[in-house]
């Protein structure tokens, strides 16, 4: 155990600590088929970024087999999935932690076997970014499509496709380009149009932490460089302020506060908020924390809100404020389900549905199932373990929701089997039906469900560019139009459509750049999986 004497002086160290406290956190998910080299990759990342201790290296060296003398089997550093396989417990997500000078990382290392889809979804639900591994010799496998599909469903915003084992493919740029072309098309078909592809060898370390000398033809960043610099916009919601009330804090007669985690948006002292289900409005008197009152709170802070008026609010209620559409009161809604229980869905049974801080009984009806081989939808009468599909949900009491695409917190739920208490399914809300189907004004969520995108105004430099962009978006099935004035553009965007406004004096642009920009900022994300337009 070495005593530390490296730091020049205390103030330099204090400065370092202050920087440490400011570091950002990136949550990522790694997935690939069995033997794609996932364990080796994670071992390499930890080893080359000096996040492994001496005793762990020693233990791995002792266990290394079938390698030239002095060479370390890096896969053993990450728990040895091998040892797990022998014990038959390679079935679960393992979480790993490491840090570099720039960022902290949480890796959800998910199992490759296809029967563990549910555990992959567990890891994916909190991830900001997915690293999909493909073996350069084998190319795109059914499992690669399946993983990408689940990641996209769960709404992971960013993707890296690492084409691994390039050392065994002669570091050939042709191999890389061929797989890139093929897998780009697969990703595009499920709504992922913006992924970072890189050629890599986890075994030799090429392009993992340091850039490869064996592949000078690739000019992009190494994997770690990319992970350290990619902009994090995971879990960003597109709704206004939402906070499900977790508990009512009433330590004495003088204080009554509502404790919860801000799901989206921000709240300032003095703002007006509305509580659901009561619908009553009140002013924010104080935002209290242990560390003092706050002027402003934003997602995902854990706070306690004191209101100016006595409003009847209890656990499971929702506080919200603008801008944008209010949450919907859902007596019946449509959701994507990932079935996770060994007992198949029983449509005659009432499951317990946990949504934010509210748990209610609910009935489920199957609409369709996704075929993970073709990625198309098909008729289905049954949801068995690992099935993914669309279902209609009828909760015993209304829930206050947003579509999952707009808000990961108010748009998600789990189903619990009341007989076994197991977590049977994960749900992502697609569309809400009003009490009488088709009645009342058209709501934002219905528009999103139909068109698969949100409203936006896009400015182009010329009429020609506007028409080209309109064609590109129209071909994707978007509700799009070219308009001549700001007023009409705003009106269309307000109704959930894409309005293209040519503005002279704007710099020239690349149409595909604009489209990928719309994908990046979430306007178009995942539209193919979400677009249905049926039954609303």
Closer of 199 and 327 to other proteins (Cβ): 327
The 10 Å Cβ neighbour count of residue 126 is: 16
Pairwise CA distance, residues 219 & 231, whole Å: 20
- Per-residue x/- track, 239-268, other proteins (CB under 8 A): -------xx-xxx---x-x-xxx----x--
Show the binding pattern over residues 484-513: x = contacts other proteins (CB under 8 A), - = does not. ------------------------------
Residues 463, 502 contacting (CB under 8 angstroms): yes
The 207-236 contact track toward other proteins, x by CB under 8 A, reads -------------------------x----
Task: Return the number of the residue (275 or 497) whose C-beta is nearest other proteins.
Answer: 275
Which of 48, 49, 56, 490 is in the footprint of other proteins by CB under 8 A? Answer: 56
384 binds other proteins (CB under 8 A): no
Choosing from 121, 337, 469, 493, the residue that interacts with other proteins (CB under 8 A) is 121
Q: Which residue among 48, 49, 100, 104 contacts other proteins (CB under 8 A)?
A: 104
Per CB under 8 A, does 329 bind other proteins? no
Which of 242, 408, 450, 476 touches other proteins (CB under 8 A)?
Answer: 408
Helices (H) and strands (E) in the chain, counts: 13, 27
From 87, 189, 143, select the one nearest 386 (Cα to Cα): 143
Q: Name the residue with tokens 């740029």.
A: 173
- Please report, as residue ranges, which positions from 409 to 468 form the binding site for other proteins (by CB under 8 A): 409, 412-414, 416, 418, 421-423, 426
Smallest gap, in angstroms, from Cβ of residue 442 to other proteins? 29
**Separation between Cα atoms, residue 153 and residue 211, nearest integer Å:** 32
Per-position DSSP letters for 52-104, written without gaps between them:
--HHHHHHHHHH--SS-TT---GGGGGT-HHHHHHHT-TTS-EEEEEE-SSEE
CB of 158 to other proteins, least distance (A): 16
- Among residues 34, 89, 185, 365, the one that binds other proteins under rule CB under 8 A: 89
Within positions 8 to 27, which residues make up the interface with other proteins, using CB under 8 A? 10, 13-14, 17, 20-25
Chosen residue from 68, 70, 88, 279 binding other proteins by CB under 8 A:
88
Sign of CA dihedral 295, 299, 300, 304: positive
**What is the x/- site pattern for other proteins, positions 337-366, by CB under 8 A?**
---x-----------x-xx-x---------
Of 82, 315, 332, 459, the one binding other proteins by CB under 8 A: 315
| Token reading at 266 | 């921000």
CB 331 within 8 A of CB 363: no
Work out whether 125 is an interface residue with other proteins (CB under 8 A): yes
By C-beta, is 104 or 211 nearer to other proteins? 104
355: which DSSP letter? Answer: E
Query: Contacting other proteins (CB under 8 A), which of 34, 99, 272, 308?
Result: 99
Joined tokens for residue 342? 């060994």
- Cβ distance to other proteins smaller for residue 88 or 505: 88
Residue 61 CB, shortest distance to other proteins, in Å, is: 14
Tokens 């890599």: give the residue.
Answer: 200
If phi > 0 it is left, if psi is from -120 to 50 it is alpha, else beta; for residue 265 that is left
Between 342 and 371, CB nearer to other proteins: 342
Return d(Cα 504, Cα 94) in angstroms, integer. 54
Residue 227 CB, nearest approach to other proteins (Å): 14
What's the 3-state SS for 177-202? HHHHHHHHHHHHHCCCCCEEEEECEC
Phi, psi of 470 (to 5 degrees): -60, -40
């Amino acid at each position: 155990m070495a005593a530390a004497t490296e730091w020049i002086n205390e103030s330099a160290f204090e400065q370092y600590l202050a920087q440490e406290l400011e570091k950002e956190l990136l949550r990522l998910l790694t997935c690939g088929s069995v033997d794609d080299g996932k364990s080796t990759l994670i071992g390499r990342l930890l080893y080359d970024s000096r996040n492994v201790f001496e005793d762990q290296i020693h233990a791995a060296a002792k266990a290394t087999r079938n390698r030239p003398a002095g060479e370390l089997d890096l896969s053993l550093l990450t728990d040895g999935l091998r040892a797990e396989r022998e014990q038959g417990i390679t079935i679960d997500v393992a979480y790993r932690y490491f840090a570099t000078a720039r960022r902290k990382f949480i890796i959800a290392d998910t199992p490759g076997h296809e029967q563990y889809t549910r555990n992959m979804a567990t890891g994916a639900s909190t991830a900001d970014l997915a690293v999909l591994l493909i073996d350069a010799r084998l190319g795109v496998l059914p499992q690669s499509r399946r993983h990408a599909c689940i990641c996209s469903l769960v709404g992971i915003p960013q993707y890296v496709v690492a084409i691994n084992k390039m050392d065994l493919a002669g570091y050939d740029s042709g191999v890389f380009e061929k797989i890139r072309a093929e897998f780009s098309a697969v990703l595009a078909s499920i709504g992922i149009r913006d992924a970072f592809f890189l050629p890599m060898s986890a075994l030799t370390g090429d392009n993992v932490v340091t850039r490869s000398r064996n592949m000078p033809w690739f000019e992009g960043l190494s994997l770690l460089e990319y992970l350290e610099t990619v902009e994090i916009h995971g879990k960003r919601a597109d709704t206004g302020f939402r906070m499900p009330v977790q508990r009512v804090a009433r330590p004495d007669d003088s204080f009554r506060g509502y404790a919860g985690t801000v799901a989206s948006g921000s709240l300032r002292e003095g703002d007006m908020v509305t509580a659901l289900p009561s619908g009553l409005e009140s002013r924010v008197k104080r935002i209290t924390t242990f560390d003092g009152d706050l002027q402003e709170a934003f997602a995902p802070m854990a706070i306690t809100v004191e209101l100016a008026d006595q409003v009847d609010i209890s656990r499971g209620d929702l506080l919200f404020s603008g801008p944008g559409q209010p949450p919907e009161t859902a007596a019946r809604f449509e959701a994507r389900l990932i079935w996770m229980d060994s007992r198949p869905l029983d449509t005659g049974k009432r499951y317990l549905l946990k949504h934010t801080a509210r748990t209610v009984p609910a009935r489920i009806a199957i609409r369709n199932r996704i075929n993970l081989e073709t990625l198309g939808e098909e008729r289905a009468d049954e949801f068995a373990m690992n099935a993914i599909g669309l279902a209609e949900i009828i909760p015993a009491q209304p829930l206050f929701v947003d579509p999952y695409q707009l808000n990961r917190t108010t748009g998600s739920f789990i189903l619990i089997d009341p007989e076994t208490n197991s977590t049977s399914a994960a749900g992502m809300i697609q569309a809400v039906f009003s009490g009488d189907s088709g009645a009342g004004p058209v709501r934002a969520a219905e528009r999103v469900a139909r068109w698969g995108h949100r409203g936006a105004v896009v400015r182009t430099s010329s009429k020609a560019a506007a028409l080209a962009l309109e064609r590109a978006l129209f071909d994707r099935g978007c509700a799009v139009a070219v308009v001549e004035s700001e007023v009409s553009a705003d009106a269309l965007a307000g109704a959930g459509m894409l309005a293209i406004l040519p503005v002279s004096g704007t710099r020239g642009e690349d149409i595909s750049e604009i489209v990928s920009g719309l994908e990046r900022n979430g306007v178009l994300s995942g539209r193919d999986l979400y677009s249905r337009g049926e039954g609303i």
